[in-house]
Structure 1
Amino acid sequence: MGGGEVPHGFPVPNPTISYWQSPPHPIASHRTTSILPTTTTFDYIIIGSGVSGAAVAYKLLHRDPTLSILMLEARTAASAASGRNGGHCRAGWWLNFKEYAAAFGEDEAIKFEQLEEQNVLDIANFVHEHNVECDFQDVETSDTYYTEEAWTELLEVIRLREKAYRRRSDVKPLINRSIWHGQNAREHLGLPNILGTVTYPAHTQNPYLLVCRMLELSLEKGLNLQTNTLALAVHPVSATCEGTEKWAVQTERGTVRAKEVVLATNAYTNALHRGIADTGFLDPSRSQVTSLRPEHDMSRHPAAQHKSIGLNDRGSGDYMMIRAPGLKGAGDVIYGGGRGVSPTREMGVTDDSTINPKIEEYLKQSAPEVFSRQAWGEKSTEVRDWSGITCYTPDTFPLVGEVPGENGLWASVGMNGHGMAMAFRSAEALVTMMTTGKEPVWFPKSFRIERAWKKPKMDVRPEGATLGPVAVL
């Protein structure tokens, strides 16, 4: 970014470097044109190069390669939450089915579950179709529980969910799940203290490489990507005599213009758009992850065969994965969570240039405890610690659609630390709206952006995270 102090709430310079971002991708500091194209009126300007922005650009250009699209990124490509999460790609929020059904109705709860499951399948299809090199692994993920209360509640969710699907002959779950109780669960995962677990197909990956490949494919179709270009303001402008110019985006390097603008700014949306900020609907927060190398070789540990595990009622909804044999860092344990250690749960923090030392200590102590010291060993090699800024909403769903009263200004933001299971499909819905003027039939009403200006039907913000499943940075 340019010189000077960064305004509050915008991306800070020099963020922590995530496990996935070393080494940096060849397009990390890419600028398609050395000079910011301030004299061109683009069809679209997309602000943000994470999974939401990258997916919107890819899907627009896939439909119409003649479109002119400018993408602005405040820092390097995929430098925000999408490039620094826990490496999971899993449909884990089916565990909120009971709360979603109570707040929005069974049909909406099922519609969300279908979106989440299809989102994961779509990413897998994208990776295979384009031969994306992002350490993509087909794994069995698990949601594990340590307390009788939480495990009993989970079993009730499963019963309610199964009854709801039995009442619907037109739709079935896209992903099958297995329930493991007691000793069977402990032996299956090799985790000594759990009471039960639910397992189902999922994936692990290097998310940074995935998003950068999406960007590369769009660059091949004509996307103009301008990294290290902080967007400071978005505002409507008077139309030209041809009636084409509608929006202007002020940056550190000059002002650019487009017929339409897409906010893919997630936790930084409040800083850029006062109207959305005034709703109080989006809450940024800092999340944290550590990577450790156990003293003992974990390649034969049962959990290494599953690799993606949510520890849903331990600490702050912790989560972990184990790097597979043959990959760089094979055997490394990526462990995230721990926000409950912070009195503020890190809510309101938009600085990812530092980490919380108390959370750091918690994560490094928790990983060996989960596996047992006998399996782990007495020592760990610290590989890397990093943080990232996520964005939460009262009802755990993103805001997707055209900003009310601002024709041509679109948004897909507020991914609740669960973007790898919602953002790709949300981008599909947004592009459909932008190009046809209609919502897809599968789009959940609970994602509609206008609800930010209304009282939410469900509010879990006192906890600052999800209801049951883990929030994966």
Structure 2
Amino acid sequence: MDVKKNGEVSFWYADIGGVPGYRPGLPGDQTVDVCIIGAGFTGLWTAYYLKEAEPGLSIAVVEKEFAGYGASGRNGGWCSGEFGWSKSRYLSSGTKAEIIDWARQLRTTVAEVKRVTEKEGIDCDFLMTDCLTFAQSPAQMARLRDSYNEAMDWQVPTSRLEMIDGAEAASRIKIADSHGALVRHDVARVQPAKLVRGLAEAVARKGVAIYEQTTVTGISPGRVETNRGVVTAKKIIRATEGYTHGIKGNERALLPMNSAILVTEPLSDKLWAEIGWEGSQLLADGSHAYCYAQRTREGRIAMGGRGVPYRYGSATDQRGETQAETVEKLKAILYRMLPQTKGVALDHVWCGVLGVPRDWCATVGMDGDTGIGWAGGYVGLGVSTSNFSGQTLADLVLEKTTERTGLPWVNRKPRKWEVEPFRWLGVHGMYWLYHKADRNEMRDGGRETSRLATWANRLTGR
């Protein structure tokens, strides 16, 4: 494995001087108005908006590791304001007009994150840009056109989305075998560790107590049990996303899906001239297995993908360390899309988990009887969605009726994941079929979408 660093949580922490030290743990039994479990984006945004609305609230955030340890400090740095799931699946919970309005509100989160970072002085390399999803075959281009047409049916503004041909796409980033791209405007690139650490500092300045190295062992109405004492609270928020399975009674609520990122050394000006990518756009592809990338502040490429998608029994990584198999898969994606980078040194690789519900649709809610709320299941688009979750959870905690609290994802509860080994077999079977479908399309010239991808979606209900 020719990568200098593996794990160490993520490159984003190496970029800011290393993994941070710990805040003090819970000092013993406490009584507060609101207890939030998890100091990632969801928990911290919730605390932020609660304090903005009601400065006198007493809030405790309890975190097993440190603020931003999980996906919030390891993700690809996309602040997109996009759905990471099928809009049509919410038709059982709301009307098409309500879902269209929800999509409109979600798009405003990019500007909202920008507003807060400026107000709170959070330097997180925030940059407004575009997101280009490239097609490297006719089949991929057809799927992107289908996505565009579907978006138009859901009334996504044409100012937000456009299709460009191969020549135009290649003029922006010189992706190999470019047939065109789907372009999303008004998205942002961020350095996620800087954002989550800055948000934690902003929340702490407002008087929120963040207790780190504090493991939650049980949740019940009005009571959060930890290894350091009990927190008694009128309202409790479970904001644990990909780590939700570790809380008793929630073992099958969200599947911890692995995702991994490879970061190159800084590229030379000469190589950047060969590649293009002058606008620091976010980058993806139209393959079934999917990838995501950004050009970082200092001129590196951060390329992400699923790698080994799921560990048996919902096991998670040790501080971001990933397998050699995942490294090879990420290298293959990088070289397939940008063969100009062969020979570039690879500085850092890591992985983390994101929370996936059984129906692949995010939820947020509050049980009025127990006073326990939750949010998660962002399926890889959590940077912006977590901001909207935080706004919504603040409304629900304060028992306010707003335009957010009546949206179709509120209080929606998907069924649980299957027990092992069916869970492992299903997820690995799905990704085996996706990879096989991608290989078949490349082998056949990519004229038509492989039926294997359709079978993969049916297998897990994606």
Which of the five TM-score ranges fits, normalised by the shorter chain? 0.7 to 0.9
Letter in 2 for 1:21: Y
The answer as to 2:325 corresponding to 1:337 is no
Contact 1:44 1:69 in 2 (8 A): yes
Q: Which residue in 1 is equivalent to 2:257? A: 285
Residue 322 of structure 1 corresponds to which residue in structure 2?
Answer: 295
More displaced 10-residue stretch of structure 1: 289-298 or 250-259: 289-298
Q: Which amino acid aligns with 1:387?
A: C
* Structure 1 residue 84: Cα displacement: 0.6
In percent, how many aligned pairs have the same letter?
Answer: 21
Which letter maps to 1:396? W
Inter-CA distance 123–147: structure 2 relative to 1 (3 Å threshold) = same
Distance 1:66 1:91, change over 3 A: closer
Q: Structure 1 residues 155 and 395 mapped into 2: Cα distance closer, same or farther (>3 Å)? A: same
Contact 1:72 1:226 in 2 (8 A): yes
TM-score of the superposed pair, with normalisation by structure 1? 0.79
- Closer, same or farther in 2 for the Cα pair 1:97/1:413, shift >3 Å? closer
Equivalents in 2 of 1:47, 1:111: separation in Å?
A: 30
Verify: 1:198 aligned to 2:182, yes or no. Answer: yes
Shifted more, 149-158 versus 120-129: the winner is: 149-158
Give the counterpart of 2:316 among 323, 335, 350: 350
Q: Which of structure 1's runs of 4+ aligned residues deviate more than 6 A? A: 98-104, 464-468
1:168 maps to none
Alpha-carbon separation, structure 1, partners of 2:63 and 2:369? 22
Equivalent residue for 1:272? 247
Kindly state the Cα deviation for residue 382 of structure 1 after the two structures are TM-superposed.
1.9
Q: Which residue of 2 aligns with 1:3?
A: none
What secondary structure does 1:268 align onto?
helix
Structure 2 length as normaliser, TM-score?
Answer: 0.80
Q: Closer, same or farther in 2 for the Cα pair 1:453/1:422, shift >3 Å?
A: same
1:299 to partner: Cα distance: 3.8
CA deviations over 1:216-243 (Å, ceiling 9, x no partner): 122112111111111111123xxxxxxx
Contact 1:397 1:414 in 2 (8 A): yes
Q: Distance in 1 between matches of 2:286 and 2:331?
A: 18
Q: Secondary structure at the match of 1:447?
A: coil
Q: Which letter maps to 2:77?
A: G
Q: 1:98 to 1:68 in 2, by over 3 A?
A: closer
Whether 1:447 aligns to 2:413 is no
Aligned to 1:220: 205
* Residue matched to 1:11: none
In 2, the alpha carbon distance for the partners of 1:106 and 1:351 equals 39
Does structure 1 conserve the Cα–Cα contact (< 8 Å) formed by 2:84 and 2:380? no
**Post-superposition offset of 1:97:** 5.4
**Does 2:354 correspond to 1:364?**
no
Alignment of 1:99-178 (within 5 A): 106-165=96-155, 173=157, 176-178=160-162
- Whether the aligned pair in 2 keeps the contact of 1:47 and 1:71 (CA below 8 Å) is yes
Taking the aligned partners of 2:32 and 2:159, their CA distance within structure 1 comes to 40
Map 1:308-319; keep pairs closer than 5 Å: 308-314=281-287, 316-319=289-292
Q: Which amino acid is the alignment partner of residue 362 of structure 2?
A: P
Q: 1:187 to 1:284 in 2, by over 3 A?
A: same
The 2-side partners of 1:231 and 1:452 are apart by: 24
SS at match of 1:300: helix
Unaligned runs of 5+ in 1: 1-13, 166-171, 237-246, 325-329, 469-473
Kept in 2, the 8 Å contact 1:115–1:422? The answer is no
Q: CA deviation at 1:292?
A: 0.8
Provide the C-alpha distance between the structure 2 equivalents of 1:360 and 1:347, rounded to a whole number of angstroms. Answer: 22
Deviation at 1:93, TM superposition (A): 3.7
Q: Secondary structure at the match of 2:414?
A: helix
- Is the Cα contact below 8 Å between 1:400 and 1:430 reproduced in 2? yes
Deviation at 1:153, TM superposition (A): 2.8
Per-residue Cα deviation, 1:26-71 (whole angstroms, up to 9, x for no partner): 964122xx76141x31001111010001100111111111111111
Cα 1:358–1:53 shift into 2, 3 Å: same
In structure 2, list runs of 5 or more residues that go unmatched. Answer: 1-5, 418-425, 435-452, 455-462
After superposition, the C-alpha distances for 1:282-330 in whole angstroms (9 at most, x for unaligned) are 2112211110126643443554323233433236211111123xxxxx1
Q: Once the 2 structures are TM-superposed, how far is the Cα of residue 372 of structure 1 from its aligned partner?
A: 2.3
Change (3 A) 1:338 1:78: closer
The alpha-carbon deviation at position 21 of structure 1 amounts to 1.2
The question of 1:30 aligning with 2:23 is answered yes
Partner of 2:387: 424
Contact 1:267 1:389 in 2 (8 A): yes
| Aligned positions, number | 417
SS in 2 for 1:144: strand
